[in-house]
A = this chain, B = another copy of it.
Amino acid sequence: MSTAAIRVTVWNEGVHEKTDPRIAAVYPDGIHGAIAAGLREKLPADSLIRTATLDDDEHGLTAEVLAQTDVLLWWGHLAHDRVDDAVVARVRDRVLAGMGLIVLHSGHFSKIFVSLMGTTCSLKWRNEGERELVWTLNPTHPIARGIESPVVIEKQEMYGEFFDIPTPDELVFMSSFAGGEVFRSGVTFRRGNGKIFYLSPGDESYPVYYQEQIRQILGNAVVWALPERPDAGLPVVTNPRRGWFENTD
């Protein structure tokens, strides 16, 4: 119901596109460029959509940028260990304070995701360009709004269970692969004041982020992940000296 413009930052390590011409051929503007272009199609016209990459100063995620970000999208793959721990801590504090976070595909092994989950976040995988079907398991979820079931991805890396994550708050999408595996491909988590969505479809080798339905999912997810308490800080440890009702006198 709000009229405030949505402020999104799309983060991508941006390494593979620079080192492998085959990847660059799929994503000439970078994976972040393709994701940002999709969000420009799906979000209101006054949304502020910027990108940031590993090579930027402070990876492009300065305190100032984060303070002006409602929802952060995260894509990483080859360079998780090159992300500075101080930046990870800063992002994590912002998520717990209310910033939305959308973690994509191989970002399951990113420092930020692993630190917020508390598990190994490991999974099975196989990259042979096989068919993925993304089924909607929760038709009442705003992230599934306008999404057909299944969404068909013709060629994709297989991600399979067991996916070592905490029990999700909500299981929105479940994928099957031509090889027979299944995967919880769209799941939500609440951490502190922040909402987190993990979406597995999307890979550096396949043009998944150009698909209309994947773009719709990401647009829906940004709106869903908007902070509910824009002015709230972290949950504060307090030590009231008297019972609740006495304190109010």
State the A residues within 8 Å of B (CB): 1, 44, 96, 98, 115-120, 122-126, 128, 130-131, 133, 135-142, 144-145, 149-150, 152, 160-162, 164, 166-167, 169-171, 174-182, 184, 189-195, 223, 228-229, 232, 234-246, 248
Contact = CB atoms under 8 A, between A and B. Distances in A.
Nearest to A241: B126
A195 to B, nearest CB: 5
Contacts of A181: 133, 135, 176, 243-244
Q: In the complex this chain forms, how many copies of it are found?
A: 4
B229 A133 contact: no
18 contacts: A96-B120, A116-B119, A120-B192, A123-B237, A124-B239, A133-B180, A135-B182, A136-B162, A139-B193, A139-B232, A139-B235, A145-B228, A174-B174, A174-B182, A176-B176, A176-B182, A179-B245, A180-B245
A99 to B, nearest CB: 11
A177 B243 contact: yes
A35 to B, nearest CB: 19
B180 A166 contact: no
Contacts of A234: 120, 122, 164
Given A164-B235, A245-B131, A124 B191 contact: no
Contacts of A191: 118-119, 166
A116 to B, nearest CB: 4
Contact of A162 (B137, B223, B242): B137
Nearest to A131: B245
Contacts of A118: 115-118, 191
A98 B33 CA distance: 36
Contacts of A145: 228-229
Contacts of A96: 119-120, 164
Contacts of A166: 166, 189-191
Given A167-B190, A246-B179, A238 B124 contact: yes
Of A98, A144, A161, A170, chain B has the most CB atoms within 10 Å of the CB of A161
Contacts of A178: 180, 243
A228 B140 contact: yes
A64 B120 CA distance: 23
A200 B164 CA distance: 24
